[in-house]
Structure 1
Amino acid sequence: MTKIIIEDSLVNDIPILSIYQSELNKYPLIFYLHGYGGDREQAIDFGYMLAKKGFYYVSMDCKEHGKRETRNENNKFSEVFPPNTGLDTYVHMHEIIEQSAIDIQSLIEYYKSRNEIDSSKIGITGFSMGGYASFYIAANNPNIKVAVPIAGKPAFTKAWKDSILSTGTYKQWSEQIQNAEKEIAKRTEYFQRIDPYEKMSNFSPKPLLIINGDQDTDSLFIYSLELYKKLLPLYAEHPENLQLWMPFADHQFAYRMKLKVCNWFEKHLGSH
């Protein structure tokens, strides 16, 4: 009978949740990143599903979330926009994403020293904010061999500019948006610096599954569709390694999505 271990621990000052089978001696490693406002326990059932397939699942509390919620972690930008626009939250989310990439690399270095982990087989996935972060980490970290961003946006700069433009069409906010031109420019420069959209070309031909619900109004599928279109020629010799799946769903990580992700990792990362 398969025994599944669930551990809560602290690695390099990062609170993590690990789920894995007790009987195996070599595990491919899967990192999961939660959504904004979530924590390391957000997809614990998903972790169990991956562990049953022989993967070593690790989910962490991202900056200012979960057990790190009360920590005073420095932010680059203060709040300058009308609260109801959500623009300051959106900028803050990307600062968390940027720190998540640093944290994931720190965890990778730790797991490379663990004999039971196959550090040549590392995958990244995440939902919502974690989906954004999965794009960002896949684009920048060569240790990542398979990526599955869920309900995220790969085009940070374009999505930001679209948010500013659309917010400015609301009468109650238009004047404040116009007056915030300098602050907007600073943040636009930041988004341009961290944007993974162009760098995602370097990820090919490694396996990439992009999941974006076609009813998702939080993360519109158009950004994922444009990246998919851009990457298609780069995967011409390995078309099986690139897939965009747009299920009839809103902003959620439903069971059938979890199953699809598990099967993708099993096919491309191999649990044995």
Structure 2
Amino acid sequence: MNFKAICEDPQELDENYPAMVQGVYYDSKGSKIMGIMHVAQGLGPHATIILLHGFPGYEQNFDLAHVLLRSGYNVLIFHYRGSWGSQGDYSINHALEDVESSIDFLKSSFARERYRVDSKKIILIGHSLGGFSAFMTAANHPEIKLVGCIAGFNFGLYGKKLCNDKFLIEKAMKEWGEAVVFLNGLTVRNFIENIIENRDKWNLLNISEGLKNHFLLMVGGKKDAIAPLEDHYRPLAKVLEEKDIDVREVILDGDHSFSAKRIVLAKEVLSWLHEQKIN
């Protein structure tokens, strides 16, 4: 596996079909969401990764996007409704719908022609809420074969833990309070209530059947205090293993954003993609 894309620019440039980064806007349930399209050099069409950020999106993984771009992948990063300039109101339900809208956008004739997208090779990779959203979405998309979950947060299992525990609910509202400030149409109370209400629907353990016939990547952090391994990573990894689902498991000595492990994170993602020989 050649890891030069992590730290080196391409040696040969395609002057006719250069790499480019462009802002994109498309509809999701009547609201315009803002995205950034990274288009790999070459005529293509190119396998295209939807790189999903977390809640509220402080770490947006643009470093990883450029590594993937130099490796020959298109990468779409978008902002869920109600966040970072996208129209509408924020909610986890809306975030999941926005992933669906992004898939539809990449399958459109406009995206295929303008951004050289191979609509038959769409890949989902997400961080935190994005990892949760990637697995939730993939369970309903058998055609999307490659799905990565980086420091994934299992909102359903979390909601089950909070249910009927007033002390934990109050603690959770304090912990999530500052992040909610930046999201349109969302209060910390309705955020927590929504998680509890959807605890069965959003429990990744309950959708594992839908992840069969996918090739999965799971990355966890030993120092992750937001999505601890014991609460979010290991229960899901155990269920996937019991169902004999193809999953590459990686545990790094990192925090929730892998702040000190960005290079090794990029290596693990590239290695997994290379093994699947999709590009």
Q: Same fold (TM over 0.5)?
A: yes
Give the match's secondary structure for 1:197: helix
1:187 and 1:230 mapped to 2: Cα distance?
21
Give the match's secondary structure for 2:134: helix
Please identify, of 208-217 and 106-115, the stretch whose mean Cα deviation from structure 2 is larger.
106-115
2:32 pairs with 1:34? no
Write the letter of the residue equivalent to 1:161: K
Match of 2:42 in 1: 23
Match of 1:122 in 2: 122
Distance 1:60 1:130, change over 3 A: same
Match of 1:6 in 2: 21
Write the letter of the residue equivalent to 1:64: G
Contact in 1 for aligned 2:35/2:76 (Cα 8 Å): yes
Distance 1:42 1:188, change over 3 A: closer
2:119 and 2:206 mapped to 1: Cα distance?
26
Contact in 1 for aligned 2:220/2:250 (Cα 8 Å): yes
Contact in 2 for aligned 1:33/1:125 (Cα 8 Å): yes
2:165 and 2:150 mapped to 1: Cα distance?
24
The equivalences for 1:253-264 within 5 A come to: 253=258, 254-264=262-272
Distance 1:10 1:95, change over 3 A: same
Match of 1:48 in 2: 66
1:108 and 1:36 mapped to 2: Cα distance?
23
Task: State the percentage of identical aligned residues.
Answer: 20
Contact in 1 for aligned 2:39/2:74 (Cα 8 Å): yes
Write the letter of the residue equivalent to 1:65: S
Structure 2 unaligned blocks of 5 or more: 1-11, 173-190
Match of 1:150 in 2: 150
The equivalences for 1:70-109 within 5 A come to: 71-73=87-89, 92=91, 94-109=92-107
Match of 2:85 in 1: 67
Deviations 1:124-169 (A, max 9, x none): 0111221221121122223321011111124x32211224577626
The TM-score normalised by the length of structure 1 is 0.75
Contact in 1 for aligned 2:81/2:88 (Cα 8 Å): no
Question: By how many angstroms is 1:57 displaced?
Answer: 0.7
Question: By how many angstroms is 1:66 displaced?
Answer: 1.4
Write the letter of the residue equivalent to 2:131: G
Deviations 1:98-119 (A, max 9, x none): 3333323332432686153222
Write the letter of the residue equivalent to 2:104: S
Write the letter of the residue equivalent to 1:146: L
2:178 pairs with 1:159? no
1:186 and 1:15 mapped to 2: Cα distance?
25
2:233 and 2:23 mapped to 1: Cα distance?
33
Match of 2:244 in 1: 235
Question: By how many angstroms is 1:232 displaced?
Answer: 1.5
Distance 1:188 1:57, change over 3 A: same
1:247 and 1:137 mapped to 2: Cα distance?
25
Write the letter of the residue equivalent to 1:243: R
Matched residues, number:
236
Distance 1:113 1:186, change over 3 A: closer
Deviations 1:216-265 (A, max 9, x none): 110011222122111224337xxxx4122111111114231122112212
Two-structure CA RMSD over aligned residues (Å): 3.0
Distance 1:20 1:35, change over 3 A: same
